[in-house]
Amino acid sequence: MTYNRLREAQSSAVQIIENSYKNQRLSHAYIFEGDAGTMKRDAAIFFASLCLCNAERKPCGECQICRRINHSAHPNVYHIKPSKKNILKEDIRLLHEEFSKTALETGPKITIIEHADRMNAYASNALLKFLEEPHPNTYALLLVEDASLLLPTIQSRAQTIHFHRLPGAIIEQHLTTTGVDPTLAKLAAQTTAHIDAAENFVNHPDLYTLIESVNQIYEAFLDQASLVLLFDKISSDLLNDELIVELYLDILIHYQKDIIYGKMDHYTKIIFEEHQDIITRVGAQKTTSMLLEELEMMMAIKVNQKHYINTRLAFDNLMLALERRNHSEE
Amino acid sequence: MAYTALYRTYRPRDFDEIAGQEHITKTFKNALEKGKLSHAYLFSGPRGTGKTSIAKIIAKAVNCEHAPVANPCNQCDLCLGIDQNIINDVIEIDAASNNGVDEIRELRDKVKYLPGHGKYKVYIIDEVHMLSIGAFNALLKTLEEPPKHVIFILATTEPHKIPATIHSRCQRFDFRGIHTKEMLTRLNEIVDKESLDIEPEALRVIAESAEGGMRDAISLLDQVVSYSNEMITVNDVHAIQGSITDDAMIEIAMAIQASDIIKAMEILDQLLSEGKESHRFIDDLIVFYRDILVVKNTHSKEGKSLFEKPAFEKIMDALSNPMVFHYLDILNQAKQDMRLASQGKLYLELAFIKMLDVTIKQDVVMRESMMRLTEKVKTLENQIENLQNRIEAKKDEGQNVVRSVFDDIVQSSPDTKPVVNESDTLDETEKQPVPPQPKIDVPKQPIAQESPYVKLYKKYEAKQYRTYDIRFVEDVLNTGDREVKIEMVQKWYDIERFIDEERANYAKLITDGDLVATNGAMLIVSYDSAATCNRLMKPDVKRKIIEVLEDYYGRKMLFMALPINVWKKVSAEFIKKFRAKTTDDDFITLSPIEDSRLKEIPEEKESYEDVISENVKTAKDLFGDIVKVKKGD
């Protein structure tokens, strides 16, 4: 395992860890904070390997120690994951016990707590003392998506290292270099911060048809046709699959955003450049507040879609909203 | 030896090293010196304010070889031993992991044993709010009357979770968040001791972002030191925190102000690509606008270095309170939405577009200027009232003075004119300075005490007015009472709500018009069309209306409806004549109302003499009661 990708994506986090190690200023507890897919776990393994690896250029990622760490098989590295839904006090008690014993192998002991925000109140408070007066030569790494979900007293006892999402530009560039259509690359970069997810996104077989059907909606609007009826026709292909609905909504949202940007004369931000004509014409027939309202509706559907709403009804409602136009400007 | 975090290395060792909390350290120093320590204390306060530190210092001070002392010597074996956690007279209990009844029972059993080294056994129970209810109750008795050699110190961040019975057995000390200034002093000490290279500004940002928690500040300092190789700059601090620099913030605020979407989006994109998180961004923006609001309204620039930047001031001056509220509403909404969704960036963009949208902004500006207008009108009204009072006072000194003062009012308010023209909602009389009432024999009283108005009513009811009698208007205007009018106008539109459903349509009819003049007993209401007036002035309708008004305002009043154009003409004439008059007691007469659309409606009588013609009346005058009128078919 090499850490090049980690170094590339999270350079400042790696810098903090490496500098601290070099200056022998490693803190006894760290919170790795960042969205899913920001390589927090990789960084935790990097941290452990850095402390334990004996190679000259640490961490080598190839020696036996590094490999064992990578496979969660090193006795000095203690993993805690939520066993069911939460991390319980019992888990933390085991941790206390484990760490009061001397290490099996040389070097420091490292505990990695994944989803640390899922510790319940007892577990968090039990962890507090562990962090306050840690056993010598031990390190705790708390992996969490949002550090503010941890107790404030935990936060102040640990150093928080921030893992940022991959910038859209990097994903876009990565996709275009592999030969993806620039529009799709832009769209993918906007919808996800995962390189893998972005690749999946552009390779989705229905992507082109979906874009086309979104385009149809706005064309129908310009032709003053009924959007509800039009949507009725395409809905059967659409609404059966949750993934497709999400994809469709993503496209719709960014199309709508394009219209808003077009209306504000901010053309460089537009993603669907080939439809610029439609975008400006739709924009001319609506007020900005109407467009914003519609966009909010779309985003609300996207959030609520996971909560068992009547998707069909929500979409019909949206289509009705989309049919409105600003009569004073006609 | 392994590296220990800075905040642990620099845990204060005596009371003088504690940053802030003087109200607590002073109390304890005195208590320690005089040997008047209580047996149980409860420390509460936010994280990193020194609860555990002070508890440990107390433990050292009571056991110190030189006791009683205000500060532990930190040199004797006992002090050093306690610092190194090797003296078992000081027992630190983590209530979070020992929260059961059993643990507390064990504690209770051991309490009675004498201390081994020092004079006191000090129990420091940290995170005490995590004890179970059973455990709390088990502790109660021990806490109430512990052996002489025991001191309990309970520390918690959440005092409200502690039972009242525990509270009342302890002396409670509330720890405050540490002030930025005090924090800076302490941080500077650490920087000196560690000989670190750090920009003063960076230190300041650290102190500010710690929000009162000393440990947070030192942790952050520790982290920044690890992050940067040489000189520590402000940017390092921001990079670690993922927060946004003041300059970037100002740049964004400027772009939003100028509704420059291209610039704003550029900055947004750039910041996000640098790895700033969108939810963090929103938080920072909210804090920024909150700061603007605070500094703008309190005029105190203390607290943050940001406040002293000229650009900040510029933004602050250009923003009005309602606009800031508007921004904050948008941002708060976005923050809330973001919590549920995975694509924070989208909401951030949406919030930006909303904040940049010119038409929405205009709405806010409109509302705001309306507010300012009303305020201006109000101050003008007050001014006029003051002047009126002065006129009253000077009435005896000669009429000329009065006139010149009144002319002054008219001339001194030219700046209101353009403003007033913008708004159509203000009614006509508000525009003109309302003439002072010459005959203010009406004392200023709330409407409820009706005697003066009843008198007025009786006086004028006797006069038989014709339907659109100019004498009515003359009487109202000459005896007009501004205060009553304002009071009545304020309630005017509520008539509909207070009148029962049966007569709701009358109430609606009334409030369709504007109350333009009144003296408390008579009112003139203006309507858009003459036809409405004709309808309202029909005797049966008029009677109903007077009834409704009586029910609502609590007294009988005479009522006249006038079309708005007629009213304008009449009031203009009145004002002209009012300015021209020589003495206060002049009764101003006006030219009669002429409008072809207004119909004179004959007054009805309720008796069988429905219509008394002029002839019959003369006959009655001449012959008295013997006149009998026969109704023709």
Residue B608 has pLDDT above 50, yes or no: no
Confidence of residue B409 (pLDDT cuts 50, 70, 90): low
Confidence (pLDDT) at A327: 61
Neighbours of A57 (CB within 10 A): 7
Q: Give the bridge partners for B515, in sequence order.
A: B525
Identity of the residue in A19, A126, A167 whose CB atom sits nearest the CB atom of B226: A19
What part of A 208-227 touches B (C-beta under 8 Å)? Answer: none
CB of B339 within 8 Å of a chain A CB? The answer is no
What part of A 16-75 touches B (C-beta under 8 Å)? Answer: 16, 19-20, 23-28, 35
Place of tokens 């962890």: A127
Q: Under a CB-based contact definition with an 8 Å cutoff, are residues A44 and A32 in contact?
A: yes
The CA–CA distances, whole Å, from A253 to A150, A175, A280 equal 33, 21, 16
Residue B138 has pLDDT above 50, yes or no: yes
3-state helix, strand, coil split of chain B in percent (to 5) is 60, 5, 35
CA distance linking residue A74 with residue B486, whole number of Å: 84
The CA–CA distances, whole Å, from B302 to B32, B53, B291, B413, B456 equal 36, 29, 11, 39, 61
CB of B622 within 8 Å of a chain A CB? The answer is no
Q: Report pTM.
A: 0.58
CA distance linking residue B588 with residue B577, whole number of Å: 7
**Exposed/middle/buried for B225, CB within 10 Å: 0-12, 13-18, 19+?**
buried
* Sheet order of strands, A77-80 included: A77-80, A109-113, A138-144, A29-34, A159-163
Instruction: Domain B6-174: give its CATH architecture.
Output: 3-Layer(aba) Sandwich (3.40)
Cis peptide before B418 (omega within 30 of 0): no
CA distance linking residue B283 with residue B280, whole number of Å: 5
Residue B198 has pLDDT above 80, yes or no: yes
Residue B358 has pLDDT above 70, yes or no: yes
Q: Which of B1, B97, B228 to mutate to test the interface with A (most CBs of A within 10 A)?
A: B97
Q: Give the bridge partners for B42, in sequence order.
A: B154, B172
DSSP helix/strand/coil, B274: coil
- Phi first, then psi, for residue B71 (nearest 5°) are -125, 140
Neighbours of A68 (CB within 10 A): 17
Place of tokens 């006795």: A75
ipTM value > 0.95: no
What does the DSSP assignment read for B50-105? SHHHHHHHHHHHHHSTT-S-SS--S-SHHHHHHHTT--TTEEEEETTTS-SHHHHH
The CA–CA distances, whole Å, from B379 to B202, B384, B515, B622 equal 48, 9, 21, 59
Taken in order A257, A258, A264, A266, the sign of the CA dihedral is: positive
Q: A182-191 and A242-263 helices cross at what angle (nearest 10)?
A: 100
Contacts of A295 in chain B (CB under 8 A): 350
Identity of the residue in B95, B222, B353 whose CB atom sits nearest the CB atom of A292: B353
CB of B450 within 8 Å of a chain A CB? The answer is no
The predicted-structure confidence for A154-199, as pLDDT tens digits, reads as follows 887 888 888 877 777 778 888 888 888 888 888 888 877 777 788 8
Length of chain B: 633
What does the DSSP assignment read for B383-416? HHHHHHHHHHHHGGG-HHHHHHHHHHHHHH-TTH
Confidence (pLDDT) at B2: 59
The CA–CA distances, whole Å, from B267 to A279, A316, B241, B272, B281 equal 24, 37, 19, 8, 12
The predicted-structure confidence for A44-102, as pLDDT tens digits, reads as follows 998 988 888 887 777 777 788 888 888 888 888 888 888 777 888 888 888 888 888 87
- Which is nearest to B364 in space by CA: B419, B325, B311? B325
CATH number for the region B247-356 comes to: 1.20.272.10
- Ordered by start, the domain boundaries in chain B are 6-174, 180-241, 247-356, 372-408+605-633, 452-579
- Residue B546: both structure tokens together: 């007077």
- Which is nearest to B262 in space by CA: B352, B347, B198? B352
Domain B180-241 in CATH 1.10.357.10: no
- Residue A13: both structure tokens together: 């986090």
Confidence (pLDDT) at B33: 87
- Average pLDDT in the A254-261 region? 88
Helix (H) or strand (E) holding B330: helix B321-340
Q: Which of A266, A267, A301 to mutate to test the interface with B (most CBs of B within 10 A)?
A: A266
CB of A96 within 8 Å of a chain B CB? The answer is yes
Identity of the residue in B223, B274, B275 whose CB atom sits nearest the CB atom of A16: B223
Place of tokens 């949202």: A253
What part of B 62-101 touches A (C-beta under 8 Å)? Answer: 85, 94-97, 99
Confidence (pLDDT) at B631: 63
Are A19 and B229 in contact (CB < 8 Å)? yes
CA dihedral B250, B255, B256, B258 (to 10 degrees): 120
What part of A 159-188 touches B (C-beta under 8 Å)? Answer: 159-162, 164-165, 167-169
- Which residue of chain A has the CA closest to B266? A269
- Residue A207: both structure tokens together: 């992507």
Out of A8-22, B2-16, B94-108, B122-136, give the one with best mean pLDDT.
B122-136
Confidence (pLDDT) at B411: 55
- Phi first, then psi, for residue B45 (nearest 5°) are 155, 165
Contacts of B242 in chain A (CB under 8 A): 162, 164
**Exposed/middle/buried for B473, CB within 10 Å: 0-12, 13-18, 19+?**
buried
